[in-house]
Copies of this chain bind each other. A is one copy, B any other.
Amino acid sequence: MASGFFGDIAPIRYEGPESDNPLAFRHYNPDEIVAGKRLEDHLRFAVAYWHTFAWEGSDPFGGRTFDRPWFAGDMNAAKLKADVAFEFFQLLGAPYYCFHDADVRPEGADFAENTRNLEAIVDIFEKKQAETGVKLLWGTANLFSHRRYMAGAATNPDPDVFAFAAATVKTCIDATKRLGGENYVLWGGREGYETLLNTDLSRELDQMGRFLNLVVEYKHKIGFKGTILIEPKPQEPTKHQYDYDVATVYGFLKKYGLEREVKVNIEQGHAILAGHSFEHELALARSLGIFGSIDMNRNDYQSGWDTDQFPNNVPEMALAFYQVLKAGGFTTGGTNFDAKLRRQSLDPQDLLIGHIGGMDACARGLKAAARMIADGALEKPLTDRYAGWSGARGKALLSGETSLEGVADLVLRENINPQPKSGRQEYLENVVNRYV
């Protein structure tokens, strides 16, 4: 490898469940056919540029722990980072990556310099994609790290910040289109508030609605075919983030007429922080018709901040991928690892090991989910449970023709006095445990 960063590590291969080689896959065999499709095509793994290459290991109580040769912050460093990144994608066999503008280019003095820097990197990425076959799952703009965004981007009290942010999104959509990105993501990092005392909630929501409409209009104008995705998160960094969870985003899209234009990119850790299970958010998005993509990671249930760990709990992942498969699987979306090493995991090979473990865990989860679906393990009991709704009475109740007083008459006339039936939760939990 050119950069030498990963020493003599060979590309990661599938060696099967009995392998104890930490630098091999035990469950992720890209070419394995599951439910009629290659595993790679099901999972569509992407590496997150920010955590894997830009994060320095700092936390609120300590600074940089990692010691990477590309942390200098100038264009040369950005190029070295790009070299290492593509080496990493190839070593790992990751078909996709994702990035923010700020991950890949040095911060400039103004918008013009930012744009030039980004374009220079896009030139490089374009070549590297062609050389390696690695593709862009999605691009995005970092509208939260720079101090200009401290009070929000689209929802800033200062219209100049809205303008700067909008201009930045334009350049990032342009970059994403040029690189063949399959989606464009908006994470409202600081779209929210620290205190209602200094916040005009209504005004800010309207600003955000207008901003998103600008983005959607532009997408159509330039013929970008990818999906626009919003990534819900309930809080952190702000006290309250407007894109709280899937249900909140849905209401927002409905209010601003965008529910057919925009889908959601759901992150396990953000679901947890909002008080939901990951599978809840996935199931709800499926139900509302806005399921798009996932940010795969895991949050410590007992840490109240975004821990962004690599996923490893297979039983939980089986339930998540069950929802993904029930939603028809990914179309433009994929499985992006929005996961970072623990800050004590200093070694280059830790980067590979974190991803390998996550990919293996995803593969186990998806394969278990596929088997549950093939067996109708959960579907059959579900059909039985709701069977009454397929009968005449059930259908009549849901038709527009029934009235409340009509139902009351019916109950009285037939002395309807329903008896509860077992919900069989433990039985179903045991069934799932047969598969994981």
Query: Given known contacts A151-B423, A388-B159, A420-B148, is B407 in contact with A170 (CB within 8 Å)?
Result: yes
Minimal beta-carbon separation of A56 from chain B (angstroms): 10
- Complex contact B302–A272 (CB within 8 A): yes
Which B residues lie within 8 Å of A156 (CB)?
A: 418
Which B residues lie within 8 Å of A9 (CB)?
A: none
- Complex contact B164–A424 (CB within 8 A): no
Partner of A214, one of B221, B404, B432: B404
- Complex contact B303–A235 (CB within 8 A): yes
Which B residues lie within 8 Å of A412 (CB)?
A: 111-112, 115, 167
Which of A78-86, A87-95, A247-255 lines the interface with chain B?
A247-255
Q: How far is the CA of A433 from the CA of B394 in the complex (A)?
A: 46
Partner of A303, one of B283, B304, B354, B425: B304
Q: How far is the CA of A173 from the CA of B207 in the complex (A)?
A: 40
- Complex contact B300–A62 (CB within 8 A): no
Query: Given known contacts A62-B144, A111-B415, is B248 in contact with A424 (CB within 8 Å)?
Result: no
Q: How far is the CA of A195 from the CA of B62 in the complex (A)?
A: 18
Binary interface encoding of chain A residues 155-170 relative to chain B, with 1 for a CB under 8 A from any of its CBs, else 0: 0111111111011011
Q: How far is the CA of A280 from the CA of B201 in the complex (A)?
A: 9
Which residue on chain B has the smallest CB distance to residue A417? B110
- Complex contact A197–B397 (CB within 8 A): no
Query: Given known contacts A60-B60, A275-B235, A417-B111, is B198 in contact with A424 (CB within 8 Å)?
Result: yes
Q: How far is the CA of A173 from the CA of B159 in the complex (A)?
A: 49
Query: Given known contacts A151-B423, A164-B418, A198-B385, is B61 in contact with A214 (CB within 8 Å)?
Result: no
Which of A35-43, A117-125, A126-134, A311-319 lines the interface with chain B?
A311-319
- Complex contact A60–B237 (CB within 8 A): yes
Copies in the complex: 4
Query: Given known contacts A60-B59, A287-B201, A398-B210, is B422 in contact with A347 (CB within 8 Å)?
Result: yes
Query: Given known contacts A200-B382, A201-B287, A350-B424, is B360 in contact with A433 (CB within 8 Å)?
Result: yes
Which B residues lie within 8 Å of A284 (CB)?
A: 201
Q: How far is the CA of A27 from the CA of B229 in the complex (A)?
A: 43
Query: Given known contacts A254-B251, A283-B201, A388-B160, is B425 in contact with A112 (CB within 8 Å)?
Result: no
Minimal beta-carbon separation of A144 from chain B (angstroms): 5
Which B residues lie within 8 Å of A391 (CB)?
A: 159
- Complex contact B157–A429 (CB within 8 A): no
Q: Does A106 contact B (CB under 8 A)?
A: no
Q: How far is the CA of A22 from the CA of B434 in the complex (A)?
A: 10
Minimal beta-carbon separation of A59 from chain B (angstroms): 5
Minimal beta-carbon separation of A355 from chain B (angstroms): 9
Which of A175-183, A261-269, A336-344 lines the interface with chain B?
A336-344
Minimal beta-carbon separation of A188 from chain B (angstroms): 11
Which B residues lie within 8 Å of A356 (CB)?
A: 430
- Complex contact B305–A433 (CB within 8 A): no
A sample of 10 more A-B contacts (CB under 8 A), given A250-B255, A301-B302, A344-B420, is A26-B434, A65-B420, A159-B388, A166-B397, A195-B423, A197-B432, A202-B286, A234-B275, A303-B304, A345-B423
Per CB-CB distance, the 4 closest pairs between chain A and chain B, nearest first, are: A304-B304, A251-B251, A344-B423, A301-B301
Can you list 25 pairs linking A and B with CB atoms under 8 Å apart? A57-B147, A61-B189, A64-B147, A111-B412, A148-B418, A151-B420, A159-B394, A167-B408, A169-B404, A170-B404, A170-B405, A196-B279, A198-B425, A203-B386, A214-B404, A221-B403, A235-B275, A239-B303, A248-B251, A272-B302, A314-B433, A342-B426, A345-B422, A347-B424, A360-B430
